[in-house]
Amino acid sequence: MRLGTRHLWLAMATAPIVGFFALPILYLLAVSFKTKDDVLSGHFWPTVPTFANWPGAFEAADIDGFIFNSVAVSVFAGLLTIALTLPSSYAVLRLKIGGKWLADVALSSYMAPPIVALIPLFFLLKATGLLNTRAGLILVYGFANVPVAFWLLTPFLRRMPIEIEHAAAMDGAGPFRTLLQIVAPVIAPGIVATLIIVTVLSYNEFLFASAFTFSDATRTLPVGISLFQDDRLVNFGQMAAASLAGISPVYLIALFMQRYLVSGLAHGGVK
Amino acid sequence: MTVFAADALRLDETRLATRRSTLPARLSRALWIAPIMLALSVTTLYPTIFLLALAFSKSTLGRPFRGFVGMKHFAITLQDPLFLSAIGRSVAYALSTSLLQLALGFVIALLFSSLLKAGRFLMSLVLLPLMTPPVMVGVAWKLILAPAGGLLNGTLIKYGVISEPISFLGHPSLAWLAIAVADLWQWTPFIVILCFAALSTIPEGVHEAALVDGANAWQRFRHITLPLVAAPLSSIYLLKLILSFKLFDLVYILTFGGPGFATTSAGFSIYRRAIEQFDVGRAAAETIVYGLVIGLATLPVVRLHQHFERREA
C-alpha cells in the first residue's frame, strides 16, 4: 500500500517533465499536418489534417538535397575525427607519448567558443579553394571535433585492463597492430558512442555551415531550414514538415543506438 | 587559465614518460600524435595567431592585413557600449541558465534514479531533445510562441488568461526568457544524464549505513549524497557554462538578436560584424576580448571544482 502511494507520487512528478520534453516535437508534428488557416487557430491538433505540407516542403526547397549534404558531410567528418583521434588518444593514454600537456591542450581547445575559429577558418578555406564545398566542411568538422572525441574516448581507454596489451606484446604484436586488432575491439562500444556523438554534432552544426556555404548545392539542412524561415511568405506547416524530415535521421540513430549513447555521454562527463 | 579549467574537466592524469631513444624511435613516437597535433594546430593554434594578427591590422573579409593599426580595434571595442552590453548579457545568461539547468537536471536525475527500470526508459526519452539540431529546436519553439496561432497564445486566450495575443519574441525580457526555455529544453537532458551517472557512482552501502544510524531522508541527502556528488556537479556546471557561452543558433532563429539589440549575445554580435559588415579586424579584437572574459568568468567555477576535489582526496 505504501509502495503504491509512493509510486503514484513519482508518476505525478514525472508526467509533467515527460510532457514538457515531448511538447515541441509533438507540436511540430501537429503543425506539419495543418492547413494555412488551421495554423492560425491556436489549437494543438489540426482540425482537419492535411497531407499537402510534406510533399509541399520538398517542392518549395531542396530539402532532400540539404539532407543528403548533411548526412554526407557528417558521416565523413565523423569517420575522419575517429581516424585522427583513436591513434593519438591511444598513444597519449596508453603509450605515454605526448603526456599530460597534450591532454590538457586538447581539452582547453574544446572550451574556446567556435566563434574564435570562424574568421581564421574562413580565410583558410578561401585560400585552399575549399570555401563553399562539402569537402571543406568535412575537414572543418573532422578536425574541430577531435577534442570532444578525445574527451569521450579517454575513459574507455583508461579503464581497459593493461593485461590485454601485455598479452599482445608477448605475441610480438607492434603497437599499431595491437591498437587495431586488440584494443579497438575491446573499446568498440566507446568508439561507436564517440562516432555517433561527433557525427550528430556535425549534422546539427549551424555557425560554420552558415558562414562557409552559400549555394544550395553545398548547404546543410540547418542552413536550409534557417533560410526557409527567413522567407517572407513562410508556410509554417511546410516548415514543420521540413524540420521533422531533418530531425528524423538523428532520432532514428538515437532510437537504435541509445544504449551506446547514454553510456558514452555518461562516462565522458564526470569521474 | 584554460589549462586550469582543463584540469577540472580531466579525468585523471598521465605522466610524461621520459625515455632516452634513438631518432627513428622518436620519429615513430611523434607520428602517433601527429594527427591530434594537426587537428589542434588547424582549429586552435592557427586561429589564435591569425586572430591576433587580424586584430592589430586593417582587415576586411575581402582583403585582410592592409596595414598595422596598433591597439585601435581594442580601444574601439572596449568603448563600444553595444558590444560591452552584449558581453554582459552573454555572461549573465550563461551563469544563470547553467545554474538553473544544473538544479533542475539534478532534481530530475534524483527522481529518475528512484524510478529504477522506468528511469532508464525515461533516460532514452530525454535523449531526444539533446540530439535535436538547435536550428529545429528554435523553429519548434518559434511555432509555440508565435503571436498569430502559436500554441501558448492560443492556450492562454482559450483559458481567459489574456485577451490579446502577446508577441513573446518582440519583448526584450520575454525574448530572453524564450531563448532560455528553448535552451533549457535542449540541454537539461544532458545534465540529467551526467547527474544520473554521478548519482549511480554512490555505493549502496553508504545509504544503508545511514539508515541504520537513523538519519532521515533530508539528512541522508544533505550529508551523504550532496558531498559525494559535489565534485562531479561542479564539473557538470563548468561544462554547461562552456556550452552556454557558445550561444548562437537559438538567437539566430528565435530573435536574430532583437528586438533592437536586446538579445544580441557576444557570439552573435561578432558573427554579424564579420559576416555581414565584413569588419574582421574589429571582430577579431572582439573575439579576443570575449575569450578573455570567458576565461575570467569560468575561473571561480574551476577553483570551486578544485576545492571539492581536494576535499574528496
CATH of domain A61-269: 1.10.3720.10
Question: How would DSSP label each residue in A115-157?
Answer: HHHHHHHHHHHHHTT-TTSHHHHHHHHHHHTHHHHHHHHHHHH
How much is the pLDDT for A128? Answer: 95
Q: Which residues in chain B have their CB less than 8 angstroms from residue A225's CB?
A: 133, 135-136, 139
How much is the pLDDT for A3? Answer: 58
How much is the pLDDT for A2? Answer: 52
A67 lies within 8 A of chain B by CB = no
The Cα of A270 is separated from the nearest Cα of chain B by a number of Å equal to 5
Q: Which residues in chain B have their CB less than 8 angstroms from residue A237's CB?
A: none
Q: Across the interface, do B290 and A115 touch by the CB < 8 Å criterion?
A: yes
* 3-state class (DSSP) for residue A32: coil
Q: Across the interface, do A120 and B46 touch by the CB < 8 Å criterion?
A: yes
Over range A247-264, report the average pLDDT. 85
Please state the domain extents for chain B.
48-312
Distance separating alpha carbons of residues A151 and A171, to the nearest angstrom? 30
Q: At what angle do helices B23-40 and A100-111 cross, to 10 degrees?
A: 10
The Cα of B150 is separated from the nearest Cα of chain A by a number of Å equal to 5
Over range A108-127, report the average pLDDT. 88
A173 lies within 8 A of chain B by CB = no
Please state the domain extents for chain A.
61-269
A251 lies within 8 A of chain B by CB = yes
Q: In this model, does residue A62 exceed pLDDT 90?
A: no
The Cα of B98 is separated from the nearest Cα of chain A by a number of Å equal to 15
- Reported as a pLDDT band with limits 50, 70 and 90, residue A11 is confident
Over range A74-84, report the average pLDDT. 96
Residue B68 bridge partners (DSSP): B57
pLDDT tens by residue, B207-242: 777 777 887 888 888 888 888 888 889 989 998 998
Over range B14-20, report the average pLDDT. 43
Q: In this model, does residue B244 exceed pLDDT 60?
A: yes
Average pLDDT of chain B to the nearest whole number: 86
How far CA B273 is from CA of A207, A212, A214, B269, B289, in Å, comes to 14, 16, 18, 6, 14
Which value does ipTM take for this structure? Answer: 0.90
Q: In this model, does residue A76 exceed pLDDT 90?
A: yes
How much is the pLDDT for B11? Answer: 37
Q: How far apart are the first and last CA of chain A?
A: 39
How much is the pLDDT for B294? Answer: 93
Q: In this model, does residue B1 exceed pLDDT 50?
A: no
B39 lies within 8 A of chain A by CB = yes
Q: Across the interface, do B287 and A207 touch by the CB < 8 Å criterion?
A: no
Q: Across the interface, do B135 and A226 touch by the CB < 8 Å criterion?
A: yes
Percent of chain B with pLDDT strictly greater than 70: 93
B190 lies within 8 A of chain A by CB = yes
Q: What angle do CA A188, A193, A196 make, to 5 degrees?
A: 125
Q: Which residues in chain B have their CB less than 8 angstroms from residue A41's CB?
A: 149, 154
The Cα of B103 is separated from the nearest Cα of chain A by a number of Å equal to 14
Q: Which residues in chain B have their CB less than 8 angstroms from residue A214's CB?
A: none
Total residues belonging to chain B: 313
- Reported as a pLDDT band with limits 50, 70 and 90, residue A120 is very high
A108 lies within 8 A of chain B by CB = yes
Of the candidates A14, A143, A246, the beta carbon closest to that of B111 is on A14
- Tell me the H-state helices in chain A: 2-31, 36-39, 53-60, 63-93, 100-111, 115-127, 134-144, 146-159, 162-170, 175-177, 184-186, 188-204, 207-212, 221-230, 236-269
Q: In this model, does residue A250 exceed pLDDT 70?
A: yes
Q: In this model, does residue B119 exceed pLDDT 80?
A: no
- Reported as a pLDDT band with limits 50, 70 and 90, residue A231 is low
Distance separating alpha carbons of residues A253 and B186, to the nearest angstrom? 17
The CATH architecture assigned to B48-312 reads Orthogonal Bundle (1.10)
How much is the pLDDT for A230? Answer: 65
Least Cα distance to B309 among B226, B235, B204, B236 occurs for B235
Q: Any idea of the CA torsion for B292, B298, B303, B309, to the nearest 10 degrees?
A: -130
B126 lies within 8 A of chain A by CB = yes
For chain A, the maximum distance between any two Cα atoms, rounded to a whole number of angstroms, is: 74
Q: What residue type is assigned to position A251 of the chain?
A: Y
pLDDT tens by residue, B27-49: 888 888 899 999 999 999 999 99
Return the number of CB contacts < 8 Å for A and B: 309
B8 lies within 8 A of chain A by CB = no
